[in-house]
Structure 1
C-alpha cells in the first residue's frame, strides 16, 4: 500500500469542491481551484482564457438576484480528466432555469486547467420557458 493519493478520486474531489464553491457564491474559493492558464469553454460561445478573465466573469455573475446550482448525475475520472453529466440551474430572481450539461475538466498540478461544457441551446430555451412559467404560476 502506498501513501500517494488516488489521482482519479483527487481529481473528482477538486471538481466537486469547485461546484460546491460556485453554489455557495464562494468565488475566491472556486478561483483557488483554477490553474492560472485555465481555459473555460461553453458550447458555441467564445473561449475564456486565463484565470484573471475567468475570475472577472465569475465575479460579474455574483449578484444578489443571480444564483447557480447543479445536480451532479454522474462524475468519473481517468487520471487528471474528469467527466460530468449534470443539470445546471441558473437562478435569475424568481426564475430557475435548468438545463443538461456534459462537462470535461482537465487538471494540471491539482488545479482545473480546462473547463469545457457542452449543452444544447434548445434545452436552455426550454429550461427558461419552464422556469418563467413556474415563477408566474408558483408551481
Structure 2
C-alpha cells in the first residue's frame, strides 16, 4: 500500500483495534506523533508506549472519517474520534495532518479543542451515570 490516503486510512482503522503494535506497523521507525498542544512522541517505541498507557483507560476506539485529502505525501483528515470504556463514551472533532513516505506514516499530528474534548468526556460521564442509575431503578424481575 503506497497511496498516502490509503496508508492513513489503514492507520486510523488500526487504532480501532486498540492494539499498539498494529497501529505502529503503519509508521516509520522515526515517526513523530503529536496531539497538539501536548509534546510530541518520537519513534515507534515511544508511540507504542503512549498508546499502551492510553489503552489502560480507553478500551474502545472508533474513527469516523468525514473528509480526507492528499497533496502529495501530505494527508489531511477531518474526523470524529469516539473513545470509550464500558458505559462511558466521548465523541470529539479532530483534524489530523499526516506525512507519508515509502508507505509509512512519518508524521501524525492531531488538532482538537481541549474544551470540547473535556466537555465530551464530562457528557460521557453523565450518560454513563444516568445509564447506571436507570438500571438500578428497574423493578426486580424485568
Q: What TM-score, normalized to structure 2?
A: 0.84
Q: Secondary structure at the match of 1:29?
A: helix
Q: What TM-score, normalized to structure 1?
A: 0.86
Shift of 1:123: 0.5
Which 4+ residue blocks in structure 1 deviate beyond 6 angstroms?
none
Partner of 1:76: 69
Q: State whether structure 2 residue 93 is matched by structure 1 residue 95.
A: no
Q: State whether structure 2 residue 44 is matched by structure 1 residue 18.
A: no
Aligned-partner Cα distance in 1 for 2:53–2:103: 26
Shift of 1:63: 4.2
- The superposition leaves residues 54-112 of structure 1 with CA deviations (integer Å, 9 ceiling, x where unpaired) of 01111233348622211111111111111000111121332101111100000111100
- The superposition leaves residues 15-65 of structure 1 with CA deviations (integer Å, 9 ceiling, x where unpaired) of 111111110223322211101110111111111111110011112333486
Runs of at least 5 residues in structure 1 that lack an aligned partner in the other structure: none
Q: Secondary structure at the match of 2:49?
A: helix
Q: Secondary structure at the match of 2:18?
A: coil
Larger-gyration structure (1/2) = 2
Aligned length: 132
Runs of at least 5 residues in structure 2 that lack an aligned partner in the other structure: 135-142
Moved more, 60-69 or 16-25: 60-69
Q: State whether structure 2 residue 46 is matched by structure 1 residue 46.
A: no
Q: State whether structure 2 residue 30 is matched by structure 1 residue 30.
A: no
Aligned-partner Cα distance in 2 for 1:23–1:101: 15
